[in-house]
């Protein structure tokens, strides 16, 4: 995992194209999240997402990826990542992570959100809230840090500081570089380690995606060869944004406001490329 690999740095124009893919993706997730209600199947959610991409002239970078059969991943309750949409019908109190991507003119975006359906359990609200806030702490570290490893340290420090029952940060699944491919170097760890990673510099584009669990860190992959679940059956949450570094600062490409509202709380001002 830790060997240095060549990082693809993007020009300002390439980042602008990735922003277009990010805006389409944000809109598709908006509609998919709104459709996530009791009685709706995960296959129906996949259809909502795919329709938005088609109308926008974008394509899914998930569909067909190493044979993946859908445009989004829908991971419900103890499913952590890579859940395949299907016949499962959402129930009251379910927690579901919806992960998707969009491609425009060969440039990729990737983002995920957690949704609680119907009447939420307080512990699930906390899990999703902490995971989302951990993501924003990692994004803020991209703006202020020197090395990619600073992102994981910021995420780890925040999660460890939260009062109440401890939440686990998965280590087997991490964030990644993104650009002409959905998954590129470097790995973006969600935990503190001795690995600094590449220097943070203009042109770097990353998908920052912490995954937290309410129980132990052990996971298993189901017989479909995709769906990753917690071994102890405890629930999980995933949040993700694609973020670019450029000469003027950082820009959250998959957030409609570029990350302005949430980053302001952390003393960071994102800078769009006009």
Q: How many structural domains does the chain have?
A: 1
Q: Is 66 annotated as contributing to ligand binding? A: no
Joined together, the tokens standing for residue 18 give 């990735």
Q: Is 232 annotated as contributing to ligand binding? A: no
**Which residue range is the domain that position 27 belongs to?**
12-264
Q: Is 209 annotated as contributing to ligand binding? A: yes
Whether 150 is in a domain gets the answer yes
Whether 126 is in a domain gets the answer yes
Would you put residue 121 in left (φ > 0), alpha (ψ -120 to 50) or beta?
Answer: beta
Q: Is 241 annotated as contributing to ligand binding? A: no
Number of other residues whose CB lies within 10 A of the CB of residue 94: 21
Q: Write out pLDDT tens, residues 172-210.
A: 999 999 999 999 999 999 999 988 999 999 999 999 999
Q: Chain-wide mean pLDDT for the chain?
A: 97
Q: Write out pLDDT tens, residues 142-168.
A: 999 999 999 999 999 999 999 999 999
In CATH, what number is assigned to the domain containing residue 134? 3.90.230.10
Q: What is the pTM of this model?
A: 0.96
Whether 145 is in a domain gets the answer yes
Q: Is 240 annotated as contributing to ligand binding? A: yes
The predicted model gives 233-246 an average pLDDT of 98
Which letter does DSSP use for residue 231 in this model? T
**What pLDDT does residue 195 have?**
86
Q: Is 172 annotated as contributing to ligand binding? A: no
Whether 174 is in a domain gets the answer yes
* Cα 32 from chain centroid (whole Å): 15
Distance CA 38, CA 198 (A): 44
Could you list the beta-strand ranges (E) of the chain: 72-76, 79-81, 95-104, 107-116, 168-169, 175-177, 184-188, 205-208, 211-213, 219-221, 228-230, 236-238, 241-246, 249-252
Q: Is 183 annotated as contributing to ligand binding? A: yes
Percent of the chain clearing pLDDT 70 (strictly above): 99
Whether 271 is in a domain gets the answer no
Percent of the chain clearing pLDDT 90 (strictly above): 97
Q: Write out pLDDT tens, residues 123-136.
A: 999 999 999 999 99
Whether 125 is in a domain gets the answer yes
């Amino acid at each position: 995992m830790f060997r240095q690999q060549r990082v693809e740095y993007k020009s300002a124009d390439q980042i602008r194209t990735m922003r277009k893919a990010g805006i389409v993706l944000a809109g598709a997730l908006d509609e998919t999240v709104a459709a996530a209600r009791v009685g709706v199947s995960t296959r129906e959610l996949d259809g909502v997402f795919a329709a938005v991409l088609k109308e926008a002239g974008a394509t899914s970078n998930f569909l067909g990826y190493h044979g993946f059969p859908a445009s989004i991943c829908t991971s419900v309750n103890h499913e952590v990542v890579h859940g395949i949409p299907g016949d499962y019908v959402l129930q009251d109190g379910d927690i579901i992570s919806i992960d998707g991507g969009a491609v425009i003119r060969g440039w990729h975006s990737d983002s995920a959100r957690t949704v609680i359906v119907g009447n939420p359990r307080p512990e699930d609200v906390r899990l999703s809230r902490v995971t989302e806030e951990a993501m924003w702490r990692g994004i803020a570290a991209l703006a202020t840090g020197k090395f990619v490893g600073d992102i994981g340290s910021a995420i780890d420090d925040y999660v460890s500081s939260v009062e109440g029952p401890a939440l686990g940060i998965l280590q087997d699944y991490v964030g990644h570089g993104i650009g002409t491919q959905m998954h590129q170097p470097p790995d973006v760890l969600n935990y503190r380690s001795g690995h600094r990673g590449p220097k943070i510099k203009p042109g770097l584009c990353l998908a920052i995606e912490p995954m937290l669990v309410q129980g132990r860190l052990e996971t298993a992959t189901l017989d479909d060869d995709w769906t990753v679940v917690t071994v102890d059956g405890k629930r999980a949450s995933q949040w993700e944004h694609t973020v670019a570094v450029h000469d003027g600062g950082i820009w959250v490409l998959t957030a409609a406001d570029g990350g302005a509202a949430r980053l302001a709380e952390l003393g960071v001002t994102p800078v769009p490329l006009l």
